[in-house]
Chains A and B, each alone.
Chain A
Amino acid sequence: MVRLNLLLLAIVVACALSVVSANHRARKLFTELEAAQKRMRELEIEWGQLQLEQSTVAAHVRVEKLARERLGMKQPVPGQIVAIESAAK
């Protein structure tokens, strides 16, 4: 009887300790999750800013200006365009 009681006591203590450690682990994992989510938000914001930057840099006004002024490009006159029939047809 005494032995059984001791055994049960040991089990109870072990259970109690594991609850504590599980709780601790859960909190640690939760903090990691939080950090990851924060990082996700930051990356999303950065993505938005990069998209913004991309479309600013690739704005048609700017591209046309650079093409004309820096690269000296110009629109082809109709005679310079040769239409090619698609071979796949």
Chain B
Amino acid sequence: MKAVKFARSPLLSERLPPWRQRFVLVLLLGAFATLLGRAAYLQGFKNEFLGDKGRARFERVIDISATRGRITDRHGEVLAVSTPVRSIWAIPEDAQLTPAQSRALAALLELNVSEVNNKLSGDGEFAYLKRRLAPDVAEKVLALGLPGIHQKNEYRRYYPAGEVAAHVLGFTGAEDSGQEGIELAFDGQLAGKPGSRRVIRDRRGNVVEDVESIRPPQEGRDIALAIDSKLQYLAYSHLKSALAEHKAKAGGIVVIDVRSGEVLALANLPTFNPNNRSKLAGAQLRNRALTDSFEPGSTLKPFTAALALEQGKFRFDSTIQTAPGKMTIGTATISDAHVHGLLTVAQVIQKSSNIGSAKMALAMKPDEMWSMFNRLGFGAPLKLGFPGEVGGRLRPAKTWRPIEQATMAYGHGISVTLVQLARSYLAFARDGDLLPLSLARVGVQPVSGTQVFSAQTAREVRAMLELAAQAGGTAPLAQIPGYRVAGKTGTAHKLESGVYAQKYVASFVGFAPVSDPRLIVAVMIDEPGNGKHFGGDVAAPVFSRVMAGSLRALGVAPDAPLKPLVLTSVEALREGM
């Protein structure tokens, strides 16, 4: 076939009507204009809508969870920690299981088959099958590949110390938010804020690009408490055995560091297990040491004596006549348990004489006593930030009658919490000043607090309190071999609907070592019911055991001579071998 060259094509010589050319040109230009118009329309007017559609196909917003902070003791030992768990939930409509599948599911979830079927038979859109499973169990459940069964990530809070520190720590609710105790008080710091971010995902669901961070997650902050878990355990276990021994209804114990005002241990009984709160009663939940006030009884006498010394009306060795052991003020009569006769101020504290204290108090003006109690922190909450904290009762001085002023001198007609009582003894353990207490660890130790008494008065009262804890005092059982201890017993009748009942609150507050006080321990035992009810018999031994263990745990050097004791017992030991 002979090729026809284009230039010589006969068609070229054909003359066509000119409109055809123009027609094609217009057609082409028209098509071009349409394209431009369409492009402008899509880019200009529908840009946003189309962009959204596109992003919706490959962009995802992912939630980033934040963990709740840990609570540790002062040495970093974990007291509360959140760890992820899985909850298995179902869409009952979708979950059509064969009997065999139900059985497998029930076995993994440790539920009855009927229970599982019950939960799946509802026609709702959502039902929890089991909450807070260990992650590996949840994986196995999902591996069954059952329809309509899903999982959800949640957190569960664990308390390794269990009931030992239950009241201090409190607990969290279902959504991991604080409900009680430190968990509630420091919830703002502990709680994490979940964040979210926008990402691009590929076909297989992998994140391939970060588009933007919508909200960065904020991890909950860890909190270091002042609590020393060793001391906490000591306090708890000795209080527990004392409660069992004396068949008491309740009790509380507080250990305070004299140098920093930190609360090293705080335990209450009855208590609860924060890891399993299915059977909780209100009484178990009470953090008595902070939320219940009681009439302290004789533990307030040293303050009366201190004020008397401070005012110069009495001296350490001034004598007060306490015979015949009864005293009538107005229509009421107050009395001592034993008749003592002529006592010095020091002996009034040592023997715990009500008459002696009342006589000192009646030499003062009511507002002077009121102002001392007020400066000691009675009558107002300590503001530790703890939920439910109360301040006790301290009535305004102008409403006091003389009999009330006299009874307040030995701790009746006024009420305080155990923590307030423990803190007020800081004034004696230190040189007359009071520090604010702290539940959280204190970084820099405060040098001095608010002065309540002069250093001289504090020293003299320390000496009186040391006498009280020796033979001849009310609490020889508070002694610890190797250490000099000082403290005061309290035995108060309980007020029941306005009348003093034959029920008692036994207490003891003391500190050691006297030469350079390091710790204050306050013990309160409510309604001891096994024959003994005096603070010196019930509470002082607890003080002694807890203080001895704590001083040893902290490595405080003994300040009392032990040499003869060491020698004799070493001899005895050798003979035994």
Could you give 20 example pairs across A and B, Cβ below 8 Å?
Answer: A30-B209, A34-B206, A45-B83, A48-B81, A51-B81, A52-B81, A52-B158, A52-B160, A54-B78, A55-B79, A58-B77, A59-B160, A59-B162, A61-B237, A78-B481, A79-B481, A79-B568, A80-B569, A81-B562, A83-B557
Contacts of A58 in B (CB 8 A): 77
Contacts of B566 in A (CB 8 A): 79, 81-82
Q: How far is the CA of A49 from the CA of B565 in the complex (A)?
A: 48
Docked-complex contact A60 and B230, CB < 8 angstroms: yes
Give the Cβ gap from A78 to chain B, nearest Cβ, in Å. 3
B327 at the interface (CB under 8 A from A): no
Nearest residue in A to B65 (C-beta to C-beta)?
A: A41
Q: How far is the CA of A78 from the CA of B229 in the complex (A)?
A: 24
Q: How far is the CA of A73 from the CA of B128 in the complex (A)?
A: 49
B146 at the interface (CB under 8 A from A): no
Knowing A30-B209, A45-B83, A55-B78 are in contact, say whether A78-B160 is a contact too (CB < 8 A): no
**Interface code A45-87, partner B: CB below 8 Å = 1, 0 otherwise?**
1001101101110111100100000000000011111110000
**Interface code A27-45, partner B: CB below 8 Å = 1, 0 otherwise?**
1001100100000000011
Using C-beta atoms within 8 Å of the partner chain, give the interface range for chain B. 35 or more
A-binding residues in B (CB < 8 A): 67, 70, 77-79, 81-84, 158, 160-162, 164, 206-210, 229-230, 233, 237, 481-482, 552, 557-558, 562, 565-566, 568-570, 572-573
Query: Which of A52, A56, A58, A79 counts the most chain B CB atoms within 10 A?
Result: A79
Docked-complex contact A78 and B565, CB < 8 angstroms: yes
Contacts of B83 in A (CB 8 A): 45, 48-49, 52
Q: How far is the CA of A23 from the CA of B557 in the complex (A)?
A: 69
Give the Cβ gap from A52 to chain B, nearest Cβ, in Å. 5
Contacts of B84 in A (CB 8 A): 45
The 5 nearest A-B residue pairs measured at CB: A79-B569, A78-B481, A60-B233, A55-B160, A27-B208
Q: Which of A27, A52, A64, A81 contacts B78 (CB 8 A)?
A: A52
Contacts of B207 in A (CB 8 A): 30-31, 34
B-binding residues in A (CB < 8 A): 26-27, 30-31, 34, 44-45, 48-49, 51-52, 54-56, 58-61, 64, 77-83
Docked-complex contact B482 and A83, CB < 8 angstroms: yes
Q: Which of A49, A59, A78 contacts B161 (CB 8 A)?
A: A59
Docked-complex contact A56 and B209, CB < 8 angstroms: no
Nearest residue in B to A83 (C-beta to C-beta)?
A: B558
Nearest residue in A to B552 (C-beta to C-beta)?
A: A81
Nearest residue in A to B206 (C-beta to C-beta)?
A: A31
Give the Cβ gap from A77 to chain B, nearest Cβ, in Å. 7
Contacts of A79 in B (CB 8 A): 481, 562, 565-566, 568-570, 572-573
Docked-complex contact B233 and A61, CB < 8 angstroms: yes
Contacts of A80 in B (CB 8 A): 569, 573
Known A-B contacts: A45-B83, A79-B568. Give 18 more (CB < 8 A): A27-B209, A34-B206, A44-B67, A48-B67, A48-B82, A52-B81, A52-B158, A59-B161, A59-B162, A60-B164, A60-B229, A61-B164, A61-B233, A78-B482, A79-B481, A79-B565, A82-B566, A83-B482
Give the Cβ gap from B229 to chain A, nearest Cβ, in Å. 7
Q: How far is the CA of A81 from the CA of B548 in the complex (A)?
A: 12
Q: How far is the CA of A8 from the CA of B206 in the complex (A)?
A: 38
Contacts of B79 in A (CB 8 A): 55
Contacts of A26 in B (CB 8 A): 209
Contacts of A78 in B (CB 8 A): 481-482, 562, 565, 569
Docked-complex contact A83 and B562, CB < 8 angstroms: yes
Nearest residue in B to A33 (C-beta to C-beta)?
A: B210
Q: How far is the CA of A31 from the CA of B201 in the complex (A)?
A: 10
